[in-house]
Structure 1
Amino acid sequence: MPRDAQDHAVTAASEGAVRAFDHAVEGYLMHRADAAQRIAPVLAADPEFGMAHVLKGYLPMTAYDGTFVPRAREALAEARRHLSRATLREQGHVEALSFWIDGEVSRALSTWEDILAEHPRDVLAFRMHHFVAFWSGRPERMLAGVERVLPRWSASVPGWGAVLASRAFAHEECGNYVVAEASGREALMLDPANLWATHAVAHVMEMQGRRGEGIRFLSGLEQHWEGGNAITHHLWWHRAMYHLERREFGEALGLYDRRFRDLASPLAQAMPDFIVDAQNAASMLFRLELRGVAVGDRWVELAEKAEARVGDHLSPFTLPHRMMALAATARWEAADRVLGAMREAAQANRGDHAAVLRDAAIPVSEAVLAHRRGDYAAAVEAMRPALGVMYRLGGSHAQQDVLEQLFLDAAVRAGLDEDARLLLERAAGQHPVPPERRVGYAEVAARIPH
């Protein structure tokens, strides 16, 4: 039986098919824009290659786009057909994909953990677990997952750089910045085109307020980003965030237009509504408007895409961002339809996803809408109960911060000093840089003791 790059037995027809599969997995690990296209040569070499069909199902799920779910289901059906008598490890991947498609995120995570308990070098199970744990607001599972498998890995095993990069991001999200930066830089020494490692170190610098260093760090690596997927847009967003914190608002807006929301670029045309792109754009425009910066008609194309996605709830964290665009363009009817669809989904479904919609996505989206309508007290009232569970929406500390700023701005405008103080205390406890040194908080922190 052929073996993959990490030395696992694989149910496949030939060594050539497995090598093509390794190449496809590497494309996913390294955030290559052609990762999905790399599956075609695998299936051309072996149409019954079950794990190739699993990967073909995993990749559309990573887009968190409801229109892609049928593709994932088709791939799952093919994988089941061809892996019914395969290894237990491969069958575990089929079950994990099935749980994920059905919205049973906790069961999917547990299944990947079961695979890794027996096969700690299964880099696909590892990376899918890392990805889904992050987007479901479980950083502690990201961290536990990487530390469990780390002793069984080494630089001699293909995929080591991806493990180091994931370790860096998991530690960053859990506040262990020294370990995070060291792991990220080690991965970058192996390959300066490791975009997830670049991303992790950029997060460390964001959280530590190292803005000038962050700008130089990203500028020095951008030559290695060619061929990357939408994460390159997100890295440009990080650079804009550094400029925003330095009150260089024109530079931040310029990066919006020239880099991470450059709709004329081939990559933007290929992925015009990827969730991270929607988050990048909406959060930057919202932050700039909070600082009094006029953003012109930039909200319009975001609102058009948001309106086309009414009823798509796969990414709870993206929902408040879509609401920002709808509200900014006064698409009140569409905004009401979004909320109605979210409420229906929360009532009709059970489990983790419905709870996140009910407890976090709906109240935060209601707050976004009330804030734009000028009903600031209602925004605070809607959002206050969700503050303690917002992390379950997914997204990083840096990304979630726009929601914290929303609540603070609403509290200040409503004259609710106790709520503003509450938010300042949250900001001081969650972020190592004090509110007095952060652009979204400094003015309020100077006025209200916390």
Structure 2
Amino acid sequence: MHTDAHGLPVTLASAEAACAFDAAIAAYMAYRQDTPAKLKAFLALDPGAPFAAILRGSFAMLTYNAGALPSARKSAALALAAGGTPRERAHAAALDAWTRDDSDQALAIWELILAEHPTDALAFRLHHFVAFWLGRGPQMAAAVERTAPHWGSDLAHWPSWLACRCFAFEEVGRYAEAETAGRQAVDLVPTDVWAAHGVAHVLEMQGRRSEGITWLAALEPNWEQANSIRHHLLWHRALFHFEHGDTAQVLGLYDRGFRDLASPLTEALPDMFVDVQNAASMLFRLGLQGVDVGNRWVELADKAEARIGDTQSAFTLPHWVMALGATGRFQQASRLLDAVAEGAQGTGTNARILARSGLPACRAALHHARGEHAEAVAAMRPALSTMGELGGSHAQQSVLELLFLDSAMKAGMAAEARALLERAAGRCPVPPERRAIYRHHAGQVAY
């Protein structure tokens, strides 16, 4: 028996394997490109360890790709069979639940682990990730609050915990506390991309666009070892430029930053769910501003067509529909909707979300692309109050609100447009008339 970086017992064959385990966890917590290599090194040293199967399966699930499910399920079975400490068995059970589309159960198990082992970095970070992609900001923040008395600067992953505190608190509107935690984490570890990301969200929500550009531009040299999260950070910078009306900068960041198809990193993950969301949502915003985006939609539509039938990432699905619709591939988009409807027939967490929110959002995206604006409003209206469960931050979710608002305005449905603007005004301290994505429509509707 050995211990991890936080002193928790781990069933491992050697001290060398323990070091390799810690290195894999550290790389994952830091969003580093070399995380797969660190995992591979750990697996080579102790392939039969309970955490070997747990990490392999968890990392497969993090991709939100149906192609990774068989591997994740195999790993879950191996983890369950491996036994180990009660904590390791609980991790195996959480992974098993996650692979069976029971994310609610997985979250509950991680919370039980944290109740007994509040400094379990893996349980904390996986809980943070899954809760976020279910749109559960309060659940993220609650995990931070419950574990706070047990975390401090003496722990190896303290900056990562601060980064999660930052983002969780931002998503529930506690902006001052969020910014303090994020800046503290970056002061400790300038390469902490999740902390940089959390502060960028605070600046976005508060309309501090010039600060946002300066913040991200100054930190960008620190991201050389980061994985595709750096694309998302560049998307955030593009959002700030978008709000300034600088579409040339936005397109430049698209081509040479967050959708840089010449980059080896992008080539390795051409249809990673967050990368797709970055690209499609920005092209959609630009299109509504009348900006000619050239043929940039085509490669996204090609990838969307290849992923028809994969419904693992509920929030990505309407972005795929946007790409197919923008390129006139309406038949393919209809097939994607059929696949979403099929996925919604299950009883798991994601299936329920697809039925309640994912399918309406996808239908609305297709109607909008066809110019059927009243139909788009009708399709999305029932899901407006639940769309957050698709996952994504407030900044990311705004593209779906914009789709609804644009459809309502073009359909002459002033009451529906007003309701959306009131919704946006209630959530964000920056009024819609000061936000580029809403400004044009806000000037035409009293709300």
Query: Aligned match of 1:157 in 140, 150, 155?
Result: 155
SS class of match (1:44)? helix
Alignment correspondent of 1:53:
53
Contact 1:31 1:229 in 2 (8 A): yes
Q: CA RMSD in A?
A: 0.8
1:15 aligns with 2:15: yes
Specify every segment of 5 or more residues in structure 1 that has no aligned partner in the other structure, as ranges: none
Per the TM alignment, residue 63 of structure 1 is displaced from its structure 2 partner at its CA by: 0.7
- Looking at structure 1, the residues matched to 293 and 44 of structure 2 have their Cα atoms a distance apart, in angstroms, of 48
Per the TM alignment, residue 38 of structure 1 is displaced from its structure 2 partner at its CA by: 0.7
Alignment correspondent of 1:442:
439
Alignment correspondent of 1:418:
415
Per the TM alignment, residue 342 of structure 1 is displaced from its structure 2 partner at its CA by: 1.0
Deviations 1:418-444 (A, max 9, x none): 011111101100111001101111122
- Give the counterpart letter for 1:365 in structure 2: C
Query: Aligned match of 2:209 in 198, 208, 211?
Result: 211
Contact 1:54 1:75 in 2 (8 A): yes
1:123 aligns with 2:121: yes
How is 1:7-46 mapped onto 2 (pairs within 5 angstroms)?
7-46=7-46
Per the TM alignment, residue 53 of structure 1 is displaced from its structure 2 partner at its CA by: 1.7
- Give the counterpart letter for 1:224 in structure 2: N
How is 1:291-370 mapped onto 2 (pairs within 5 angstroms)?
291-347=289-345, 349-370=346-367
TM-score by length of 2: 0.99
Per the TM alignment, residue 78 of structure 1 is displaced from its structure 2 partner at its CA by: 2.6
- Give the counterpart letter for 2:402 in structure 1: Q
Contact 2:76 2:96 in 1 (8 A): yes
- Looking at structure 2, the residues matched to 87 and 224 of structure 1 have their Cα atoms a distance apart, in angstroms, of 38
- Looking at structure 2, the residues matched to 78 and 102 of structure 1 have their Cα atoms a distance apart, in angstroms, of 15
Query: Aligned match of 1:403 in 389, 394, 400?
Result: 400
- Give the counterpart letter for 1:223 in structure 2: P
Per the TM alignment, residue 277 of structure 1 is displaced from its structure 2 partner at its CA by: 0.3
Alignment correspondent of 2:97:
99
- Looking at structure 1, the residues matched to 352 and 53 of structure 2 have their Cα atoms a distance apart, in angstroms, of 31
How many residue pairs are counted as aligned between the two chains?
Answer: 447
Per the TM alignment, residue 8 of structure 1 is displaced from its structure 2 partner at its CA by: 0.6
Aligned residues with identical type, % of pairs: 53
**Most deviating of 438-447 and 121-130:** 438-447
SS class of match (2:3)? coil
Contact 1:76 1:97 in 2 (8 A): yes
Contact 2:227 2:265 in 1 (8 A): yes
Alignment correspondent of 2:80:
80
How is 1:165-244 mapped onto 2 (pairs within 5 angstroms)?
165-244=163-242
Query: Aligned match of 1:261 in 259, 274, 281?
Result: 259
TM-score by length of 1: 0.98
Alignment correspondent of 2:112:
114
- Give the counterpart letter for 1:8 in structure 2: L
- Looking at structure 2, the residues matched to 294 and 177 of structure 1 have their Cα atoms a distance apart, in angstroms, of 35
- Give the counterpart letter for 1:236 in structure 2: L
Per the TM alignment, residue 79 of structure 1 is displaced from its structure 2 partner at its CA by: 2.0
- Looking at structure 1, the residues matched to 102 and 373 of structure 2 have their Cα atoms a distance apart, in angstroms, of 36
- Looking at structure 2, the residues matched to 7 and 440 of structure 1 have their Cα atoms a distance apart, in angstroms, of 48
Per the TM alignment, residue 152 of structure 1 is displaced from its structure 2 partner at its CA by: 0.4
SS class of match (1:100)? helix
Contact 1:36 1:56 in 2 (8 A): no
SS class of match (1:282)? helix
Deviations 1:164-221 (A, max 9, x none): 0000000000000000000000101110000000000000000011111100100100
Contact 2:178 2:202 in 1 (8 A): yes
